[in-house]
Amino acid sequence: MIAVITGASSGIGRATAYEFARRGYQLVLAARFGAGLEEVAEKCNRLGGQAIAVPTDVAKEEEVNALAYQAQSSFGGFDVWVNNAAVGLFGRFEEIPTEDIRQLMEVNVFGYIYGARVAIRQFRSQGYGTLINVSSMAALVGQPFSIPYTMSKYAVRGMSISLTQELADEENIHVCCVLPAVIDTPIFQHAGNYMGQAVKAPDPVIPAKRVANAIYRLTRKPQEQVTVGNMSRMMRLQRLVSPALLFDKYLQKMIAHNHFKSQPSGPFQGNLYAPMTNWNKVNGGWLPKDSGKTAGKTFPVLAGLALAGAVGYYLQQQKKGTYTGSASAQRPVPQPATYPVAADHHTSLSQTSKAGSVGSTSESTTGSTSRSTGDQTGNFPDHRPGSANDHISTSPDIYGTGTVGHSGTSTNTGSGTDAVRPAGDPLGGLTGSPGTTPGTL
């Protein structure tokens, strides 16, 4: 089996390279940090795989194309492509520099696009293959204070779903999306940060090798989407059953208190524009040596989510119980819209009432409409701008039906075209025929 892995110098990518090497895979490893990549390739060869290192910036399409060409030259192609290279960025949305958001999208979105395109071309030509896109739990529930990253992971998930649909007639070509929870990797040390506080991995944290193992299983038995970690599954469920406001408030507080340290941190671009030479390893040091401590930290978080879901379900049921009668009866009665009227616009129409007398409708420059029919006069709250091609015909139910708008005049340039208020309108109910004589200047 031949596999290409991007972002292979650290974190999930590095763990996946080691997992594949233990299975005897031939590997084409890509990342920006060449020295770190060579270390990974050497270890993969010792583990039983056959690996080459190809320094690649996935934000540059020509380099991704060259990566695919190198796989073709060295191994005759590839069976699996793992899109994994990504960068992180923290901060309040309005305070993050636009150029940093753009750079994140170049790596996290366009890097995946370039990889997916070369992979799909290769798979179509050979008739089989598996594309694995590493997304995030954030693409299921969102994540405050890391909105650009979250947007990019939603994009990856959306691309994966849509590619699966587009390739539905290709039985042997598979697109898989992996949605990990919080993983013990150096992404938090490498991420850009504009929060003013140092970043840490929020509990509960799981080891990167669990994600690597899930990716390996997808090469044997592809699935459209898999989550890794109980937190992913729990939060997805709570997002579905809890009222949005309750869940969002809980998540905001959890991230604010659990994702950042108390120590201050100045603006930091991290590895957005260039690789960092430190923390190029699988783990980020976020898992304590005593696994019991991890379980102890995990319980309050999961318990909080369970409580949010239970309260949310209760509130939903209470809310449902307050409604009586039909749904339409609960809706507020819409008020007529008020539109500005051109200062020089007046419209007059003739109308035949139920009694046969002729009334007129005039629309003043202030937007009020008055009607006189026989001996009845009243204000009619239907204000909208007039134009030469927009004569208004209105009538309350008390006037009955009749022929509407056979003639009209307008101070605007152009010929008048009568419009009839539709039957059933709460303000009219007029069922007469439209006028046939155009208005005159």
The phi, psi pair for 344, rounded to 5°, reads -105, 20
> Which DSSP category does 94 fall into?
G
3-state secondary structure of 54: strand
CA distances from 62 to 175, 262, 279 (A): 23, 42, 28
Cα–Cα dist 416/132, whole Å? 62
3-state secondary structure of 207: strand
The phi, psi pair for 278, rounded to 5°, reads -105, 165
CB contact set of 199 (below 8 Å; sequence gap of 6+): 90, 188, 191, 193, 259, 260, 261, 265
Strands lying side by side in the sheet with 404-410? 376-380, 369-373, 358-363, 347-352, 404-410
Helix axes 61-75, 111-126, angle to 10 degrees: 40
To which residue do tokens 């439209």 refer?
A: 434
Sign of CA dihedral 380, 384, 387, 392: negative
Cα–Cα dist 28/81, whole Å? 9
List active site positions: 149
Tokens of 300: 């309050």
Cα–Cα dist 71/67, whole Å? 6
CB atoms within 10 A of CB 146: 25
3-state secondary structure of 395: coil
CB contact set of 366 (below 8 Å; sequence gap of 6+): 341
- Taking the mean position of all CA atoms in its chain, how far away is CA 207? 27
Instruction: Give one DSSP letter per residue of 140-166, joined into a string.
Output: HH--TT-HHHHHHHHHHHHHHHHHHHH
Cα–Cα dist 247/308, whole Å? 7
Q: What is the dihedral of CA 277, 72, 155, 183, to 10 degrees?
A: -40
The phi, psi pair for 283, rounded to 5°, reads -95, 155
To which residue do tokens 């699996």 refer?
A: 80
By C-alpha distance, which of 353, 370, 172 is closest to 361? 370
